[in-house]
Amino acid sequence: MDFDKLDEELSRIVELRIRLSEITYADPDYDEIEEQLHDLEDTLNEKYGDLLEEKLAEIYATLSSDNDVLLPSAYLANKYIPMQPDARGVVTYDVQGMEGVPVESEQFDGQDVRIALVPNPVRFVMVINGRSLKDLWRSR
């Protein structure tokens, strides 16, 4: 698995999601950006779906959750927070708020637990009560 390529493709999706969140439907570029975004999400599911779904199944088993594993694109947050670039100029991202896919688990009874897919490095993050708290899986 080429995790560098996955990071690149996932980062492009995140950048488009950020850009889309900054404009309105009235913007002449909105439809084109949205179409590019959907194409990239479809490609993500096709190229990396099996691996990411396998990792998600392991996460759900660890969390003792009966939820169904969804397509990887479902775990994309609507809003990402870009962090400062590292020494190589790579930007990583964080998620906050009610982002990601809700997960039911008795381990977290009464709390809002979600899983979000985040790039650089590619990882599934646990978001509890709107705060990104733990990496559940990292590509490296």
Distance CA 114, CA 97 (A): 10
Give residue 139's region: left, alpha or beta (phi > 0; psi -120 to 50): alpha
Tally of structural domains, the chain: 1
* Tokens linked to 116: 């979000």
Mean residue pLDDT of the chain comes to 94
Provide the 3-class DSSP secondary structure of residue 113.
strand
Percent of the chain with pLDDT over 90: 81
Q: Which pTM does this prediction carry? A: 0.92
> pLDDT for 73-102, tens place per residue?
999 999 999 998 888 888 999 999 999 999
Q: Which domain holds residue 127?
A: 3-138
